[in-house]
Amino acid sequence: MRKAVSWSILAYLCFGAFMYWYLFYGTSGAIPAEFKGTSADPATFMNSRELLLSQEYSRTKYLLFFLSTPFEWLVLLLLLVLGISRRFEASAEAVTKLKVGQAAIYMFYLSLLTTVLALPFKWIGYQVSKSYNISTQTTGSWIKDLVTDYWVNFAITLLVVTVLMWLIRKSQKRWWLYAWALSVPFTLFLTFIQPVIIDPLYNDFTPLKNKQLEQKILSMAERANIPAEHVYEVDMSAKTNALNAYVTGIGANSRIVLWDTTLNQLKEPEILFIMAHEMAHYVYKHIYWGVASYIVLSFVGLYLISRLVNAMLTRWRGALQIPSIQSLSAVPLIFLISSVLSFAVSPAENYVSRMEERAADQYAIAMTKNNDAAVETFQDLSKTSLSQVNPPALVKLFLYTHPTILERIDYLDGKK
């Protein structure tokens, strides 16, 4: 146990030191010489202060990501080897004999502890966003969102864990297959209800006040065969200065949504380009492809989780303090393996997403026929979010679901 704890902490500290060096000293963030003076050069649309802030903010944000993700793994591992997970289970069993009740008590302890331990990263991220004027959210509102997020995640996780443990008790060999079969309708259900039930828990959605703009957007939607009667705006300016818009949901629950920051900060041609881009995702059925790929990946993932859990219990059952896979104390191990696998596959997922975003850009250009507005849109997105135009390779690999601003503007310049 002492070896596991010591080596895990040392590995985390070494990884954190490497990422700090890589982000702040190992890479410059400068654009290639051939792009100097072009519309992709941030020096042409940012002043010296904005350039400095974008470098500082981006690096800090990236570092927080690369520190928080393995920190989650470290916490889950320590919960196992220090016997905390086992004690949570024993405490739940002492309260009730009902399996559902035990799962609820255990998951409350587990989720509360992991949330508290992860809180410093979230708080630092919030404070950094505030200091760089990205976030405009009050502390009270931030805490409210944190609490809402906790209970939404707790309810979903409790349901998943309860069903999962029931399946494991029924079949230790094929539980992963049954879990995958049940995850398919569950994933579709969450995708369907998110726009109308989950999203409104965090923000207020109202019909777009600018009816002239709404009519233009709906006209574009009609050309794209999107069944929409309204365009919604959401009051994000109370929380952030960042820009966004999206088309979400499936079937009758599809929604076209604009952040009010986008409405307030961009000109109409830029807004129309963004909406054309978002409509492309609907036209190309990227939501459906995303759900389908998740279903396929979850099949492979659950199979690998089952094999890895069994292998680790065979070799390190005593060190991990897990009596059997049927025990609730095995939940952190399942979460740990799932998180590591998800991180490992994220570069491939991000690559596919970047291809979809490139296709959406092409669709938007074809629909709006306004390259200048598109270039200005990406320049404004970079300025308002203080994002690097040319991020480091590891950042792009693990974080970028969209092409970089440099790539997007370079593509548009080539279309002129």
Q: What's the pLDDT score for residue 182?
A: 93
| 286 annotated among ligand-binding-site residues | no
| 402 annotated among ligand-binding-site residues | no
Contacts of 111 (CB under 8 A, 6+ apart): 150, 153, 154, 157
Lowest mean pLDDT among 90-99, 243-252, 368-377, 384-393: 243-252
Residue 199 predicted with pLDDT over 90: no
User: Would you say 268 and 280 are in contact if contact means Cβ atoms under 8 Å apart?
Assistant: no
Mean pLDDT of 271-277: 93
Comparison of pLDDT for 1 and 64, the residue scoring more: 64
Q: What's the pLDDT score for residue 287?
A: 85
Nearest CA to 88 out of 113, 124, 65, 51 is that of 113
Point out the residues that are catalytic.
278, 361
Backbone dihedral angles phi then psi of residue 39, each to the nearest 5 degrees: -70, -10
Q: Report the C-alpha gap between 175 and 181 in whole angstroms.
A: 10
Residue 377 predicted with pLDDT over 60: yes
Question: What is the token pair recorded at 51?
Answer: 């350039």
Q: Report the C-alpha gap between 74 and 141 in whole angstroms.
A: 30
How far is residue 261 from each of residues 189, 235, 255, 348, measured CA to CA in Å? 30, 8, 18, 31
Reported as type and span, the H/E element at residue 258 is strand 255-259
The predicted model scores a pTM of 0.88
If you average pLDDT over every residue of the chain, what do you get?
A: 91
Percent of the chain having pLDDT more than 90?
Answer: 70
Q: Is 173 exposed, middle or buried (0-12, 13-18, 19+ CB in 10 A)?
A: exposed
State the amino acid at position 382 in one-letter form.
S
Q: Report the C-alpha gap between 300 and 297 in whole angstroms.
A: 5
Mean pLDDT of 211-217: 92
Q: What's the pLDDT score for residue 5?
A: 83
Residue 393 predicted with pLDDT over 90: yes
Q: What's the pLDDT score for residue 4?
A: 78
Lowest mean pLDDT among 159-173, 188-202, 315-329, 351-365: 188-202
- Beta-carbon neighbour count of residue 229 at 10 Å? 8
H helices of 1-98, in order, are: 2-21, 48-81, 84-95
Q: Report the C-alpha gap between 155 and 108 in whole angstroms.
A: 10
| 277 annotated among ligand-binding-site residues | yes
Q: Are strands 231-234 and 255-259 parallel, antiparallel or unpaired?
A: parallel
How far is residue 157 from each of residues 48, 68, 76, measured CA to CA in Å? 46, 20, 15
Q: What's the pLDDT score for residue 416?
A: 55
Contacts of 29 (CB under 8 A, 6+ apart): 55, 58, 59, 388, 390, 391, 392
Q: What's the pLDDT score for residue 228?
A: 76
